[in-house]
Amino acid sequence: MLFRILPLLIFGFSTFAFADSATQTDWSGIDGIWGPVLDWSINFYTATLFEYSTNPSELILLLLHQEHTIVGEYVGANSVYSADINGDGYMDVLGAARITDDITWWENSDT
């Protein structure tokens, strides 16, 4: 029994060990990045909606939040959730308002 489970455990642990790592092997540049990469200094290309911080031998990329106003007059919003309510593959928005006792579904039609 152990010989049947052992390969599964080894495979499972090896996939988890590399889940948070990434190695860049192509230094030729991609769309939006000027390349080929010839500058090997401490400078790097920063995209929009990202901030970064550095520690010795460490680069930390932070994704900035972007606000999209759906309805500006939803009075007393208490909870807002995103989920694919109708199963069409697009994230819809559910909102609950405490003051008006209202639950609203905004369908994302991807337009």
Q: Kindly state whether residue 93 falls inside one of the protein's structural domains.
A: yes
Range of the domain at 93: 77-106
Write down the number of H helices and E strands in the chain.
1, 5
Residue 62 has which token pair? 């932070």
pLDDT digits (tens, 9 = 90+) for 39-91: 556 565 556 666 777 777 777 777 777 777 887 788 888 888 888 999 998 88
Would you say residue 100 lies in a domain?
yes
Beta strands, E only, the chain: 50-55, 58-63, 77-83, 92-97, 102-106
Q: How many CB atoms lie within 10 A of CB 37?
A: 14
Q: How many domains does the chain fold into?
A: 1
Flag whether 94 is in a domain. Answer: yes
